[in-house]
Amino acid sequence: MSFISFTFPAFLAIVFCLYWFVFGRNLRWQNAFVVLASYVFYGWWDWRFLILIAFTTICSWSSGLLIGRFRGEPRKSRAVSVANIVLNLGILALFKYYDFFAQSFADVFLGGHSDGLLLHLILPVGISFYTFQALSYSIDVYRGRIEPVPDVVQFFAYVSFFPQLVAGPIERATNLLPQFGRPRTFDYSQAVDGLRQMLWGYFKKIVVADFCAVYVDDVFAHPQSFSGMQLIVGAFFFAFQIYGDFSGYSDIAIGSAKLFGIRLTQNFRVPYFSRNIAEFWRRWHISLMTWFRDYLYIPLGGNKGSKARVIRNTFIVFLLSGLWHGADWTYVAWGGYNALLFLPLILSGSTRKFRDDIAPGRLLPSWKDCIRMTLTFFMVMLGWILFRSDTLADAADFFIRMWQWGPGAGLDFLLSGSFLIRIVWIAVLVIVEWLNRSASHALALDGVHSRTARYAIYIILVALIMLLSDNTAPNFIYFQF
């Protein structure tokens, strides 16, 4: 079931009522209902997906109990932890990466003939997300950061919680799991704040991302039919499409979780206002990048040791991050591109610069910050071309054509209504998020005390969403990961 389907609002309302008014007095029954609702939500795509997520959940829960039992026997607890990691990553590799590597092998050694090699398995929605979430639990139990959970229902609720199940945030057991272990009471102000955050998420997805997608899809499908300027515009629109799409999903997920008294991890912190690439990756897809930091980068040595070692660790993290996003060389190249952008920062010792808020206490940023943010956005935008292209050859062709400006260069497009209306929605997004860059989310409305003004904002956003909603629009981009 998708957040943008007509089924979801009815599903959410029914689950909300049963959660609080029927099962709210008994924690175990309430958690069991969360599992049931989450499995209905996830099985809506394909009931066969439920078998895999249930198997992953049972394996990780059981491994946690065994690690706890062997706490005083390091070799046994380590063996259990490693076995669970290998099993879960093996399942992920089989479904997501086997055909990719098999086809790549055939292309190099068999002239592209892959008959009999490929499995053509259906990729379960969100498998990368819930696999990483389940893994974090067993690893943290092994490290002694959390105690094993004996309640299997509580653990199933942690892995399958439907708001963030298919596209994050990737939760840690230290944050989400304890919330299913204690009674929850309905908080009206928290629920209202959740609805506001959902509303902003829908605006970003439907009004910004889906509206940009129409032009983006055409440009990337037929780049030879567009001028260099139009291709640059296409890359610019995709930067806001993927941001509106993914951060919009995160807002809807975090907001809907608040309706059930659950607080999820913030996944985006106005990343396009970043002043260098390191700050960007501290603000974009925070739950994934902190996962790689804690479970891969730091165990490899992190930023300790020589700069050569730091560079090695950075490339490992970003290449694997690219592969995590998709089984294609374009994603690996995108990860490598981002690692390359880190080189000047690593060599100059500037990776930890700009950890503060952007222009605190000021309405506008300084000129230096404007230049830094513009350059960082431009570098990120170029990387998104690799991310969006179907093949490396397509990406190379797109890059070449971007700088070919013939007579006229299609500049009349910049005055067209379709271009200007997209710019208007992007401008609304940028202005609102800039003004609320220090808030928990852009529609927190901390400074709007007039009830009339608040309801006017709600009505305008709802009207825009309903007016521009299209049931033929693409689903969330990150569902494929």
Active-site residues: which are they? 325
Nearest by Cα to 274 from 365, 387, 168: 365
Instruction: Give the integer Cα–Cα distance in Å for 11 and 107.
Output: 46
Q: Which tokens belong to 441?
A: 């989310």
Token code pair at residue 271: 């990343």
Question: In sequence order, what DSSP letters do the residues of 144-213 get, joined into one string?
Answer: TSS-----HHHHHHHHH-GGGTTT-----HHHHGGGGSS-----HHHHHHHHHHHHHHHIIIIIIIHHHH
In degrees to the nearest 10, what's the CA dihedral of 106, 108, 112, 117? 0
Size of the chain, expressed as the number of residues it contains: 481
CB 219 within 8 A of CB 241: no
CA dihedral 20, 23, 24, 26 (to 10 degrees): -170
In the chain, % helix, strand, coil (3-state, to 5) comes to 70, 0, 30
Tokens describing residue 318: 């970003």
One DSSP character per residue, 260-297 reads TT--PPP--S-GGG-SSHHHHHHHSSHHHHHHHIIIII
Assign 456 to helix, strand or coil. Answer: helix
Query: DSSP letter at 251?
Result: H
